[in-house]
Amino acid sequence: MKSLTFNQLQLRVLVLLFFLFTSGLISYMHFIELPKLERSISLLAERELDTLAFSTKNLLKDVAKINFDYAAWTSTYNFMHDKRQSYIDDNLVDETFSIIEVDGIFLIDEHLKTIFGKGLNHKTGESLNFSFQDFNQFPSNATMLPVPRRDKGSAKTSGFIMTLHGPAIYSVNQIRTSLLEGEHRGFLITIKLIKEDFTKSLSESTLTKVSMLPIPHDYKAKTSSFWNEKVTVTAVKPYSTVLIGDMNSQPIAILNIEHSVGTMPNIINQKSIIFLTLLSFLFYLIYQLISITIIIPVKKLARDIKVMDKKKECTQLNEDYTVKELTTVSKNVNELLLTVQKQNELLAEQVNTDQLTQVMNRHGLKVELTKHKDECIRLKVGFIVVMCDIDYFKKYNDSVGHMKGDEALFLVAQALDNQCKRTSDTCARFGGEEFILLFTEMTTANLHNKLQSVINAMENLNISHPDSAVASHISVSLGATIVQPSDVIDFNLPMNAIIKSADKALYQAKATGRNRFVINYFSSNKTT
């Protein structure tokens, strides 16, 4: 065996170290970091597809809400019997289509015969002809009709359909009285054509670009999932496609969603090759410098990612690295985390917000009630639950219609929300025309003033109520229950009982004339 000089041995050791270092770095990024990043990007793509499905459902719900308002209406129910032209003249004129933003309204009797049908582009005013409602010519379309209900309620369906003017959203409701009763007299069908505003709305919701494509003529087999099916993304790709199907699961259009992160970063590129070439010549002189500028940052990046993965928390990684590739990977991960965070915030807001009134919904209310409960148990801070109900609201809907009723609900909700001055105060829609206000503890006198302020706010709102027995305007009745730290028993508070206590006070306010408030203490149900 030939002997080696110290210099030769040192040079070979340095070359070996350089080779091991560069090989280890590339292997670490290729076999560990890139798969993690690829999975993270795939999860982001899945989240974007989930958001697309959620937003599509909301668009269907918007059309279904409008359709229900007209179908569950005594005037529509009577028209199906007496066929009075005045109903058409008062409710289904050209202006109606632009106001409710639909392109077709059809009244079908119990024998599937079209009693009234009209198509009108709600944006251009152009008259539109539809034929899908001819169930004799298109018997398969009858599957869009729900099974009529004989008990209280209104059978309904919604989805997509291909029309002479392209894909459209449809909503079908069984025609019933405003009390959701009466004999079966047919169905109300509403059509809204899918145009640019449909994909624009989806793009805004998903924070990505969404476009709609027609079904190719040579399309034979199912190559994509339907929009409402759960999709698992296994590889990073620039875009995904989902199908829009009609009531018979026949594809009618393709949705194309461009993912916010659609490519994997390149580890080996021209800059990295130049860097490694220069490093091979300078390695002997800058061995310690490499240890500081490369090895330690790589370990830190790996450690930060490992800590983040272990804690399951999205924290920003350091982007100040000497090696550009590490900076690029760190920036990509940070951008990915920022996009996920924004989408989480958007989904959280949609989950906790009532879509009609734009105040907190029942789900968010449950979270806030839990916070007040915990503070009362741990910090001995009491709170107040106020049940609020709009007086004679059903009569208001019957008098002015559901669309005006929805407008009134929104205005009342905003007025109630404005009464929540402190950051801990909460206004939430409990259901229908009922709202709940949560206040951190205050004196009885201040609570009296606050509830009187709510009564006055309704008077200042001055929404005319033609059928109210207590006021000329929309008014509210309030029932408040005061929860004190002394109500805590064995570190627990019965939240259902507290809600019932507030509801009991509300019942007393209604029983004594409405447009007023009643306050009681949860512990003794003492009324003030």
pLDDT, average across residues 189-206: 93
Q: Which two tokens stand for residue 169?
A: 């959203």
Both tokens of residue 494? 């019965």
């001995």: which residue's tokens?
380
Asked whether residue 285 falls in the same domain as residue 187, the answer is: no
Domain enclosing residue 386, as ranges: 362-521
Using pLDDT thresholds of 50, 70 and 90, give the confidence band for residue 404. very high
Q: What is the pLDDT of residue 287?
A: 59
Residue 500 burial (CB < 10 Å; 0-12/13-18/19+)? middle
Q: Which of 173, 203, 262, 207 is nearest to 56 (CA)?
A: 203
Distance CA 34, CA 267 (A): 9
Domain boundary, last residue among 281, 307, 339? 339
Which residue has better confidence, 233 or 20? 233
Same domain, 315 and 406: no
Rounded distance, CA 74 to CA 487, Å?
48
Rounded to whole angstroms, how far apart are CA atoms 346 and 450?
33
The pLDDT score that the predictor gives to residue 527 is: 46
Question: Does one domain contain both 83 and 142?
Answer: yes
Of the residues 324, 339, 354, which one is the last residue of a structural domain?
Answer: 339
Q: Classify residue 317 as left (phi > 0), alpha (psi -120 to 50) or beta.
A: beta
3-state secondary structure of 117: strand
Mean pLDDT of the region 230-241:
87
Judgement on whether residues 36 and 144 belong to the same structural domain of the protein: no
Give yes or no: residues 394 and 484 share one domain. Answer: yes
**pLDDT single digits (tens) 98-120:** 999 999 999 999 999 999 999 99
- Across 7-29, average pLDDT: 69
In angstroms, the Cα distances linking 192 to 94, 171, 212 are 15, 9, 16
* Distance, CA of 379 to CA of 48 (rounded, Å): 41
Within a domain: 367:
yes
Asked whether residue 93 is assigned to any structural domain, the reply reads: yes
386-420 exposure pattern, b = at least 16 Cβ within 10 A, e = fewer: bbbbbbbbeebbbebbbeebbebbeebbebbbebb
Q: In the predicted model, what is the mean pLDDT of the chain?
A: 86
- The model's pLDDT over 311-348, given as tens digits with 9 standing for 90+, comes to 656 666 666 666 666 677 677 777 776 766 676 666 55
What percent of the chain clears pLDDT 90, i.e. is strictly above it? 60
Tell me how many domains the chain contains. Answer: 3
Do residues 83 and 115 share a domain? yes
Judge if 335 and 393 occupy the same domain: no
Q: Give a yes or no: residue 445 inside a domain.
A: yes
In a domain, 350, yes or no: no
Helix, strand, coil percentages, rounded to 5, for the chain:
50, 20, 35
Helices and strands (H and E) in the chain: how many: 15, 15
| 298 located within any domain | yes
Query: Partners of 118 in the beta sheet?
Result: 105
Among 50, 29, 34, residue whose Cα is nearest residue 233? 50
Check if the beta carbon of residue 267 is closer than 8 Å to that of residue 275.
Answer: no
C-alpha–C-alpha distance, residues 516 and 426, integer Å = 20
Question: What's the pLDDT tens digit per position in 410-422?
Answer: 999 999 999 998 9
Residue 322 is encoded by which pair of tokens? 């000497």
List Cα–Cα distances, 257 to 6, 7, 59, 118, 254, in angstroms. Answer: 62, 60, 17, 33, 10
- CB within 8 Å of 336: residues ≥ 6 apart: 37, 40, 41, 44, 261
DSSP assignment string, 398-460: HHH-HHHHHHHHHHHHHHHHHT--STT-EEEEEETTEEEEEEE---HHHHHHHHHHHHHHHHH
521 neighbors 481 (Cβ within 8 angstroms):
yes
pLDDT (mean) for 456-470: 93
Is 355 inside any structural domain? no
Q: Looking at 237, 262, 287, which one is the last position of a domain?
A: 262
The average pLDDT across 181-197 equals 94
Residue 6's Cβ-side half-sphere holds a number of Cα atoms within 13 Å equal to 0
Residue 1 lies inside a defined structural domain of this protein = no
Question: Is there a domain that residue 356 lies in?
Answer: no
The CATH number of the domain holding residue 425 is 3.30.70.270
Cβ(79)–Cβ(87) below 8 Å: yes
201 and 68 fall within a common domain: yes
Average pLDDT over residues 82-96: 94
Tokens linked to 498: 């507290």
Beta strands in 109-224 (DSSP E): 114-120, 127-128, 156-163, 166-174, 187-193, 209-213
The answer to whether residues 11 and 116 belong to one domain is: no
Q: Are residues 149 and 124 in the same domain?
A: yes
Q: Within a 13 Å sphere around the CA of 262, how many CA atoms are in the beta-carbon half?
A: 10
Give which of 473, 521, 527, 463 is closest to 497, Cα–Cα.
521
Give the confidence band of 6 by pLDDT, cuts at 50, 70, 90.
very low
My answer on whether 171 and 257 are in the same domain is yes
Q: In whole angstroms, how far apart are CA 244 and each of 109, 160, 430?
A: 29, 7, 34
Question: In the structure encoding, which two tokens stand for residue 254, read together?
Answer: 């393709």
Strand 383-390's sheet: what is its strand order? Answer: 426-431, 434-440, 383-390, 476-483, 517-521
- Residue pointed to by tokens 């709940």: 436
CATH number at residue 148: 3.30.450.220
Strand partners, 193: 168
- Contact (Cβ atoms closer than 8 angstroms) between residue 28 and residue 302: yes
Mean pLDDT within 201-205: 92
Q: Within 13 Å and on the Cβ side, how many CA atoms surround 494? A: 10
Does one domain contain both 449 and 437? yes
